[in-house]
Amino acid sequence: MRVVAEHVSKKFNRRPVFKDLSFTVEPGEVFGITGRNGSGKSTLLRIVGGLLSPSGGSLRYSSGGSDVKPELLHRQIGYVAPYLTLYEEFSAQENIALYARIRGLAFTSRDAQALLERVGLPLDRKDPIRAFSSGMKQRMRLVFAILHQPPLLLLDEPISNLDAQGMSTVYGIVADFRARGTVIIATNDAEDIARCDRTISVEAA
């Protein structure tokens, strides 16, 4: 998916977070958003994900040569962030079944198990995910993001709370998505930045 941001700015009340940000992310690219804490990396990622309206400027998305309608953007993106809360009263399998049902995907329990295996989560846990560790919850967020195989993957601090094995899972997913989509990572981590083709700093804006 191609993402074009033109003169994007964001203010909360009257406080400017960033202004006049313009960039283009091409299909097959891993694009990094960097900046110190509180500089607006997550805010920009939420704007790119259509979860927050910009105060100024515009964003355009195109996939396979045609524009993506804003109301259908949620089908085209996968989003991972530490502040993303899943339905913690349900088990991992129930969460997967729920996402698949809402997204209208035909998903068998075997597909769900393959997905859990892919992110390194145990297949036999039947308890609600509120009982999961923070690292396991982060892996569940990865499941949430990749289940529908979106062409645009948005990752906010993707390796937070993850051990070495979890980090390599994330980087494996990034490599997979690079081959058939676009990845945007908001991060300050040197390892994440090393995997980006290009970066933009929101501090400069």
Partner 1 sequence: MIRQAFAVFSKDLASELRTRYAINALLMFVIVTLAVIMFALAGESMSPGALTGMLWVVMFFASMSGLSRSFVAEEERGTTMTLQLLATPTAVYLGKLIFNLVLVIVLNLFIIALFLLTMDQFVVNQFGLFWLVMLLGSLGIASATTIIAAIIARANTKGTLFPVLSFPVLLPLLMAGINATKIAVEDVRWDAVWPDLQLLGSYIVVITTVSFLLFDFVWKD
Distance CA 119, CA 172 (A): 10
| By CB under 8 A, residue 74 contacts partner 1 | yes
Based on CB atoms, which residue is closest to partner 1, 13 or 53? 53
Q: Stretches 29-37, 80-88, 158-166, 190-198: which one binds partner 1 (CB under 8 A)? A: 80-88
What's the farthest any 2 CA atoms get from each other in the chain?
51
The three-class DSSP label of residue 176 is helix
85 interacts with partner 1 by CB under 8 A? yes
Closest contact distance (angstroms) between CB of 119 and partner 1 is 17
- Residue pair 150/184 in contact (Cβ under 8 Å)? The answer is no
In the list 7, 103, 180, 198, the residue contacting partner 1 (rule: CB under 8 A) is: 103
Which CB sits closer to partner 1, 126 or 190?
126
Closest CA to 74 of 175, 174, 157, 144: 144
Nearer to partner 1, 83 or 124 (CB): 83
* Segment interacting with partner 1, rule: CB under 8 A, options 100-108, 115-123, 159-167, 185-193: 100-108
DSSP 3: E
What does each C-alpha distance from 152 to 2, 82, 145 come to in angstroms?
9, 18, 10
Q: What is the full DSSP assignment across 62-99?
A: EETTEEPPGGGHHHHEEEE-TT----TTS-HHHHHHHH
Which of 88, 111, 176, 189 is the binder for partner 1 (CB under 8 A)?
Answer: 88
Residue 107 contacts partner 1 per CB under 8 A: no
Contact 107, 58 (CB under 8 A): no
Nearer to partner 1, 28 or 90 (CB): 90
User: Interface with partner 1 by CB under 8 A: which range of 23-31, 83-91, 110-118, 191-199?
Assistant: 83-91
Q: Please report, as ranges, the residues that interact with partner 1 according to CB under 8 A.
A: 49-53, 71-72, 74, 77, 79, 83-90, 98-99, 101-104, 144
